[in-house]
Structure 1
Amino acid sequence: MKLFFLIPTFILTVFSLHSQDCSSGRYSSDLFPGSDLTSDIQYGTNLDYEGNSVDLKLDLYQPTGDTENERALIIFIHGGSFVQGSKTGNDVVPLAKFYAKKGYVTSSISYRLGMTIPPTEKDASEAVMRATQDARAAVRYFKKSVKDDGNPYGIDTTNIYLAGSSAGGFVALHLAYLDELNEVPSIIDLNDNSLSGGIEGNSGTPNHTSNVKAIVNIAGAIGDTTWMNNNSTPVLSLHGDQDETVPFGSDMLSLLIFEIMEVDGSESIHVKAEKENIKNCFKAEYGVGHVPHSSSTEYLDTVTMYMTPFLLSEVCGTAEFCVCNTPVDPTTCHPKDGTAKLDYENLNANLMMYPNPAKDKVYFTLEKSPIHTISVIDIKGRKIKQAKIANHNTTLDLTNFDSGVYFVKLTVNEQVLTRKLVVQ
């Protein structure tokens, strides 16, 4: 069953006030040859769990040769169970570079690490709180750079996004949804010097807000989905159902061999977001473990396949709704209203695919418009074939395909059409 996550009209109106003109292909295409890196920019300082002062730093990636001075910003937050990991890790840097080439300014931040081992629920909860306070300081740092410092990084503060992997997913979720002081678990000692400052913390750049427009959660979790009440921050979640590090649904979180506390993973976050009418997209990666994109280009492609249109629907202010299917469906986002809806429905109705099931070859025909590209995704969400077509007809050779279920995605007139294919 496909799940359509609709946004009320008034929310779309608000989004459009802060949208950008994306007609040049910025944010959707690789407009730039690479990215220019500025390392170790200090955005704050604070005490770690042992009382030691820690300088908080970020790396900044800007599109090479770009002259635009109001660009959307994605802040990436690394994983590592709050005891290890780095802003230069494989779970964040490839994504930061990928989106800088599309015209975003991207940043990967450090945050305070560490907790007592063996950890308790209190230790772990306070580690998440410290990291979230640091992420808030990073957001405030960028907002101050625009308001007070002449916008040296060329960013648009109405289009700031967080994307976190594993522990970084925890941080993104808690920044977005743990936004009231009365929601903070009583087990967290906000009088501790490393946790002072309440929700916002004291990691740097006070007197600026730390809210963001939307978040991306990759294999993270939240302490309690009830914190999502009265909050409309859009969220994209990707999570492997075989994840043994962070629960896919609601279950016990473990660190090393120690069970710490129950948390709500991406599946539970999706259910709550649906109940609260929060725009969300949930990509369940079946048969997959923890953060596979950090070591697999195929799964990195899966992340960007969902993340790119999700962000486009926010940055560009277009009336796009994420369409995600469980267990697996590569359909991402496409317009669902106005003339765009009619175009999509007409194209979808006229696309012919035959035979299906198929053994050797499958044929695609679309009389009214040429098919621009075709890609094939397997049942685990891996992109196994991609090609440019620019023709009304195309043939997919199945010689090297194993038997099973696949999804074929075709782009036509900036629309995305998807078909389920069974290979015998």
Structure 2
Amino acid sequence: MKQLHTIFALLLMMMAGTAFSQQRYVDEIFTEVEKTSPIVYGQNASLILLLDNDPTNDVHPLKQPLVLDLYRPVGDVETARPLVLVFHSGIFLPYPANGQSTGTRTDSSIVEVCMRLARMGYVAASVDYRLFWNPQDPDEIDRRSTLINAAYRGIQDARTAIRFFKKTAAENGNPYGIDPNKIVLWGHGTGGYIPANAAILDDYNKILIPKFLIDLGGGNFLPMIIEQVNGDINGTSVGLVPPGYPIYQPGDTLCYPNWPNYSSEFQLAVNLGGAIADSSWIDPGQTPTISFHVPTDPFAPYVEGIVKVPVLNYNVIEVQGSYILAKLMNEYGNLPYADKTFIDPYTAVANSRNDGYEGLFPFPRADNEAGPWEWNPPNPGDPNPMPVDPADAKPYLDTVIQYFIPRACITLGLGCDLTGYTAAEEVLNTVDTGLKLSPNPAGEQVQLTTDAAFPIEHVYVYDMSGRLVKAHTQVNSNNFTMDRNSLSGGTYIVKVFFEKGISVEKVIFK
């Protein structure tokens, strides 16, 4: 008996040691970080010389090297690490001409994020991307066209960076020690538009909607983006200006392919203060997202609104913000972490503000403030200069990282011990909760009912491989009608969340 007590005590000590020891991807377990700069990850056509707004300008696009700075932990023996590609803000224009306090791959918050992630065991890269649009154009349609093209090039460049690392892993002995199947895109402000839209723009035809068409009169319309001219959505095809095209010079090349034989897929998008071009781009089965946003951001709307040109206050385009993105990502079942019970204080704060939409962390601030996680010396042309004291901004990054940690661990399958972040789920017998699904098998709808003492909070639906395919949050009722929508025929697992526990049932759609 004494020996049994001794073994039990040792087990408790081992468990305690595991629970409180620092671990990779959760804690900063490395103290030193190596920076490699610059690394050329591709080359593509730059239009920045056309920015003089002179209609007689015959300057041609130039082939521009695309570069990044790489951050890796010193002394790390792991050779297959998740990769985070980080994109700076700056309204798609070069610093300091953009009049902003941000706009380079060495922006303070960008370097800080890369350093922190590297100390946690990730490989991080601060990625430059092509910059150009014309915010001063007096015509709103022309402003919109140049802006959507800037965002499109940003997506192409992000996907080029993804393929570059996959190519180096496959052909060059993986010199950067990355796992090509665990890649995150991360962006601040304007840079947040890149991962948010890269996660959902998976088909060129999604761009062919009225707000991205130029009315030429007589019932004729010209798409603002044409694959043959601008290159495909991945930047893997040549984009060439044809004769008679109303913009640019005939024969100009607008897109050069880089590493076209590799996949552009990535596993997670992190968006700080960005927006999406159109919510119709969101579908089931897309790349998961995590978003952070100031609800009163004057430049990128939190819910939905018009993007305006800083200083001039010109209208550019209606977009949807992080709130709509998170709402639809939840509803379409695109967030593999959405059904977890998080118990950390950061999630508790987010949930008190986000209307129950997982993966969304709002930061309430005073009006006309955006990006409280940023700090840089002020640009003389910036009408809304950001704080220059990192002590004001770093607490926001603390929160961003802590909210990111468990969701990245789950989404990327990093095997983290998330004690302190997630709780074990108590499974409640359906007899006790009174959970019933009818009809079952079902056609286009199935009715979920429970006893009065067990109101339904959330409903998550999984296919038989365990993939989350549908999510309904904030049900708060004992009766819920679930539409089949696009689910194909077959058997699914329905997980119903109550205040204290879950119940699980199967449903068959005919």
Determine which structure has more spread, i.e. the larger CA radius of gyration: 2
C-alpha distance in 1 between matches for 2:234 and 2:43: 16
Quote the residue 1:237 is aligned against.
291
C-alpha distance in 2 between matches for 1:338 and 1:144: 45
Shift of 1:29: 1.4
C-alpha distance in 2 between matches for 1:284 and 1:64: 34
Quote the residue 2:269 is aligned against.
215
- TM-score (structure 1 length as normaliser): 0.68
- Verify the 8 A CA contact 1:181 1:199 in the aligned structure 2: no
C-alpha distance in 2 between matches for 1:94 and 1:61: 11
Quote the residue 1:118 is aligned against.
136
Shift of 1:205: 1.4
- Once the two structures are overlaid, the 10-residue window that deviates more, 265-274 or 102-111, is 265-274
Q: Tell me: CA distance 1:65–1:320, structure 2 relative to 1, closer, same or farther (3 Å).
A: closer
Quote the residue 1:40 is aligned against.
38
Quote the residue 1:269 is aligned against.
325
C-alpha distance in 1 between matches for 2:425 and 2:167: 37
The DSSP-based 3-state class of the residue aligned with 2:75 is: coil
C-alpha distance in 2 between matches for 1:225 and 1:26: 36
Which of 164, 179, 190 is 2:226 aligned to? 190
The DSSP-based 3-state class of the residue aligned with 1:292 is: coil
Shift of 1:274: 2.0
C-alpha distance in 1 between matches for 2:420 and 2:260: 38
User: Which structure 2 segments of 5+ residues have no match?
Assistant: 1-20, 51-60, 95-102, 138-142, 214-222, 237-255, 336-357, 376-392, 429-510
Quote the residue 1:334 is aligned against.
422
- Verify the 8 A CA contact 1:310 1:333 in the aligned structure 2: no
- TM-score (structure 2 length as normaliser): 0.57
C-alpha distance in 1 between matches for 2:147 and 2:69: 26
RMSD: 2.4
C-alpha distance in 1 between matches for 2:133 and 2:321: 22
Quote the residue 1:170 is aligned against.
193
Which of 345, 349, 361 is 1:283 aligned to? 361
* Cα offsets for 1:223-275 (capped at 9, x unmatched): 11121113331111000112111111100001222210000000111111122
- Verify the 8 A CA contact 2:43 2:66 in the aligned structure 1: yes
C-alpha distance in 2 between matches for 1:125 and 1:237: 21
Shift of 1:191: 5.2
Q: 1:41-190 to 2 correspondence within 5 Å?
A: 41-49=39-47, 50=50, 51-84=61-94, 85-119=103-137, 120-185=143-208, 186=213, 187-190=223-226
The amino acid of 2:327's aligned partner reads V
C-alpha distance in 1 between matches for 2:132 and 2:281: 25
Q: How many residues align?
A: 308
Q: Which runs of 4+ in 1 moved over 4 A?
A: 317-321
Q: Tell me: CA distance 1:126–1:164, structure 2 relative to 1, closer, same or farther (3 Å).
A: same
The DSSP-based 3-state class of the residue aligned with 2:373 is: helix
C-alpha distance in 1 between matches for 2:113 and 2:196: 19
The DSSP-based 3-state class of the residue aligned with 2:362 is: strand
The one of the two structures with greater contact order (alpha-carbon pairs below 8 A, sep at least 6) is 1
Quote the residue 1:301 is aligned against.
398
The amino acid of 1:275's aligned partner reads E
C-alpha distance in 1 between matches for 2:424 and 2:417: 6
- Once the two structures are overlaid, the 10-residue window that deviates more, 128-137 or 77-86, is 77-86
* Cα offsets for 1:273-322 (capped at 9, x unmatched): 1221221510011125311111211212121121122212223456999x
* Cα offsets for 1:324-359 (capped at 9, x unmatched): xxxxxxx994144479x9xxxxxxxxxxxxxxxxxx
- Verify the 8 A CA contact 1:45 1:53 in the aligned structure 2: yes
Q: Does 1:254 align with 2:308?
A: yes
Shift of 1:78: 0.8
- Verify the 8 A CA contact 1:161 1:215 in the aligned structure 2: yes
The DSSP-based 3-state class of the residue aligned with 1:159 is: strand
Q: Tell me: CA distance 1:128–1:336, structure 2 relative to 1, closer, same or farther (3 Å).
A: farther
Which of 269, 273, 280 is 1:226 aligned to? 280
The DSSP-based 3-state class of the residue aligned with 1:334 is: coil
Structure showing the higher strand proportion among its residues: 1
Q: Does 1:314 align with 2:411?
A: yes
Shift of 1:117: 3.6
